[in-house]
């Protein structure tokens, strides 16, 4: 957005203005971001006064906005983008916060923050209830008639308790009775045992009696031929009793792929444990337990297919699956989150996509999904060793700050595909760290690092083109002609009309670094002169 547009915005539940000339507390920012997300999303603008007529005062808050963006996303579990706007040398910072998922309120530091007038307050109980009701009835929170605590497997409960203690860091959970622990996590209520408790902790006999469709079937097939599977196991047991066993079966035939980078040989598992576990958790959390049919895990030599009864939850499609979340069985998802199996509600699919890109494999495939069934195929073959080498050269700290969109941008560019305009936040961050750049046709491409890692320096030169120096020469020629009064940025746009503002800025930055020209003043009002020796 430009400055006039920002000055004309109304401050309401979707927009917040903060002067923050020097600094601003992260906790307060997170609370405002949480409240905006719960209201459907919005903006937080730093460096502009909140009272009309608004004035640009500039802000130095959050000098590393990319790190702040990542921290907000980690705490809130929703998408966040930012934009830095220059106004006569004054810095204006805008964070844009995405809306909460359908049926899922956002919390920070244990509270569901809400904007009420000029104040931040905990969300009213009636509003909280209405949000939970958006995604429809939560079958997993219903009490199963006639089921009792004796229908639960104590070993499964204890496995859950150990993970819960590790996640929460609270040793007091050890002292609780089984019944009290289950009540504290809302697996059981005063009315009885929930279906969530049966699915996660139920005995075999109890599941057969009350919920026979809560079953996971594993099959291994060595070829595409029809007929009986080479191995088949059916699991109708507490999920906490079978979760590790299913991975063990998959890992028995988990071949390693080898690729060489210089003198070193690296191994990549065909089936990534984290991605497989996340896909299985998604199937258990989001399947429709009121439909007959089992969850199927079908393993082939180079791919794995997980199918589950019921189509996507309300409002979810293959196009928005990374941006929107709508938990069908919220009570199950909450219990899995308590014990750390689910890192952040609704982020499992993002983790699956990120893992595929990190290992340079094909993205998850939802072919076969319809209104009655969700199918996800995870491919195991490394398709792009060159991208794999590039990612391995990026330090782990930088990768930890990548968003899912950042990984997808690298994947698209490695296939020479154009980036959609919605990828703007990722484009800026990847440009800053030097993983992508633009060529002289105005197209984004992977940087010299990618081509160097793949041993294709010649291909880089061919793709980049030789016009970059020509463009700088044209800018330098214009500066020389205007050297008495100085050349303005608007004039540069006329000199190179095919390039964007950002591309010209980067050319000027290179010329400044090379000692060819220098600027007097800041921002778009700066005047450019030849560098004097």
Residue 305 confidence (pLDDT):
97
Residue 454 confidence (pLDDT):
64
Residue 415 confidence (pLDDT):
82
- For range 12-24, the mean pLDDT: 91
Residue 59 confidence (pLDDT):
94
pLDDT above 90 (res 452): no
Residue 110 confidence (pLDDT):
84
When the pLDDT of each residue in the chain is averaged and rounded to a whole number, the result is: 88
pLDDT above 90 (res 52): no
Residue 266 confidence (pLDDT):
79
- For range 134-141, the mean pLDDT: 82
- The 10 Å Cβ neighbour count of residue 5 is 9
- For range 103-108, the mean pLDDT: 86
Residue 265 confidence (pLDDT):
75
- For range 212-225, the mean pLDDT: 92
Chain center to CA of 59: 28
pLDDT above 60 (res 440): no
- For range 125-145, the mean pLDDT: 84
For residue 437 the two structure tokens come to 């750049």
Residue 187 confidence (pLDDT):
96
- For range 57-79, the mean pLDDT: 91
- For range 116-134, the mean pLDDT: 84
Tell me which H or E stretch contains 82.
strand 80-87
Residue 241 confidence (pLDDT):
97
Backbone angles phi, psi at 118, to 5 degrees: -95, 0
- The 10 Å Cβ neighbour count of residue 367 is 9
Residue 348 confidence (pLDDT):
82
The residue among 515, 381, 388, 423 whose CA lies nearest residue 81 is 423
- For range 57-75, the mean pLDDT: 92
pLDDT digits (tens, 9 = 90+) for 383-395: 888 888 888 878 7
Q: How many CA atoms lie within 13 A of 454 on its CB side?
A: 18
Direct distance between the N- and C-terminal alpha carbons of the chain, in angstroms, rounded to an integer: 39
Residue 344 confidence (pLDDT):
54
Q: How many CA atoms lie within 13 A of 193 on its CB side?
A: 24
Residue 455 confidence (pLDDT):
66
Residues in the chain: 533
Which of 2-11, 191-200, 284-293 has the highest average model confidence (pLDDT)?
A: 191-200
Burial (Cβ within 10 Å: 0-12, 13-18, ≥19) of residue 532: exposed
Q: What is the DSSP letter of 104?
A: -
- For range 494-499, the mean pLDDT: 79
Chain center to CA of 500: 28
Residue 79 confidence (pLDDT):
87
* 29-33, 296-300, 471-475: least confidently modelled range: 471-475
pLDDT above 60 (res 466): no
pLDDT digits (tens, 9 = 90+) for 248-275: 999 999 999 988 766 677 789 999 999 9
Residue 457 confidence (pLDDT):
62
Structural domains of the chain sorted by starting position, each given as residue range(s) with its CATH number in brackets:
3-134 (3.30.950.30), 149-379 (3.30.565.60), 385-464 (1.10.10), 467-530 (1.10.10.10)
* 99-113, 255-269, 322-336: least confidently modelled range: 255-269
Percent of the chain with pLDDT over 90: 50
pLDDT above 90 (res 148): yes
Residue 464 confidence (pLDDT):
61
What is the pLDDT confidence band of residue 461, given thresholds at 50, 70 and 90? low
Backbone angles phi, psi at 530, to 5 degrees: -65, 145
Residue 290 confidence (pLDDT):
87
Cross-strand bridge partners of residue 83: 94
What is the pLDDT confidence band of residue 505, given thresholds at 50, 70 and 90? confident
What is the pLDDT confidence band of residue 28, given thresholds at 50, 70 and 90? very high
Alpha helices in 238-272 (DSSP H): 239-251
Residue 5 confidence (pLDDT):
84
Residue 459 confidence (pLDDT):
63
Residue 460 confidence (pLDDT):
65
Residue 132 confidence (pLDDT):
74
């Amino acid at each position: 957005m430009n400055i006039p547009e920002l000055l004309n915005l109304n401050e309401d539940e979707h927009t917040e203005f903060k002067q923050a000339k020097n600094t601003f507390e992260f906790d307060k920012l997170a609370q405002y971001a949480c409240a905006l997300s719960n209201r459907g999303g919005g903006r937080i603008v730093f460096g502009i006064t909140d009272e009309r007529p608004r004035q640009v005062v500039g802000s130095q808050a959050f000098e590393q906005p990319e790190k702040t963006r990542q921290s907000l996303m980690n705490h809130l579990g929703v998408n966040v983008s930012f934009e830095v706007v220059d106004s006569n040398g004054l810095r204006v910072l805008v964070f844009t916060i995405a809306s909460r998922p359908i049926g899922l309120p956002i919390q920070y530091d244990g509270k569901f923050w809400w904007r009420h007038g000029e104040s931040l307050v905990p969300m009213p109980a009636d509003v909280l209830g209405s949000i939970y009701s958006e995604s429809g009835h939560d079958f997993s929170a219903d009490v199963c008639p006639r089921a009792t605590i004796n229908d639960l497997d104590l070993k499964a409960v204890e496995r859950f308790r150990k993970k819960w203690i590790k996640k929460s860091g609270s040793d007091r959970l050890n002292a609780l009775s089984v019944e009290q622990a289950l009540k504290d996590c809302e697996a059981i209520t005063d009315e009885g045992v929930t279906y969530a408790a049966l699915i996660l902790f139920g005995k075999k006999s109890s599941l057969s009696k009350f919920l026979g469709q809560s079953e996971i079937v594993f099959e291994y097939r060595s070829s595409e031929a029809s007929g009986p599977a080479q191995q088949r196991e059916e699991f109708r047991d507490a999920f906490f009793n079978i979760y590790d066993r299913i991975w063990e079966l998959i890992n028995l035939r988990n071949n390693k792929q080898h690729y060489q980078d210089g003198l070193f040989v690296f191994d990549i598992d065909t089936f990534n444990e984290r991605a497989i576990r996340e896909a299985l958790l998604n199937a258990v959390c989001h399947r429709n337990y009121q439909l007959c049919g089992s969850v199927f895990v079908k393993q082939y030599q180079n791919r794995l297919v997980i199918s589950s009864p019921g189509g996507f939850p309300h409002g979810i499609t293959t196009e928005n699956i990374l941006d929107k979340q709508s938990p069908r069985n919220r009570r199950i998802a909450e219990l899995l989150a308590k014990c750390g199996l689910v890192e952040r509600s609704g982020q499992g699919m993002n983790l699956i996509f990120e893992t595929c890109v990190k290992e340079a494999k094909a993205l998850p495939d939802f072919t076969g999904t319809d209104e009655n069934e969700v199918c996800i195929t995870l491919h195991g073959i490394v398709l792009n060793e060159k991208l794999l080498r590039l990612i391995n050269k990026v330090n782990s700290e930088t990768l930890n700050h990548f968003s899912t969109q950042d990984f997808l941008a690298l994947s698209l560019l490695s296939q020479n595909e154009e980036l959609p305009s919605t990828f703007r936040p990722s484009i800026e961050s990847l440009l800053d760290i030097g993983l992508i750049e633009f060529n002289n046709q105005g197209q984004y491409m992977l940087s010299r690092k990618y081509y160097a890692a793949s041993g294709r320096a010649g291909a880089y030169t061919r793709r980049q083109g030789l016009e970059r120096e020509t463009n700088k020469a044209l800018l330098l020629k214009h500066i020389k002609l205007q050297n008495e009064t100085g050349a303005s940025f608007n004039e540069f746009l006329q000199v190179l009309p095919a390039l964007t503002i950002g591309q010209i800025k980067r050319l000027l930055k290179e010329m400044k670094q090379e000692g060819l020209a220098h600027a007097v003043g800041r921002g778009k009002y700066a005047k450019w002169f030849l560098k004097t020796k």
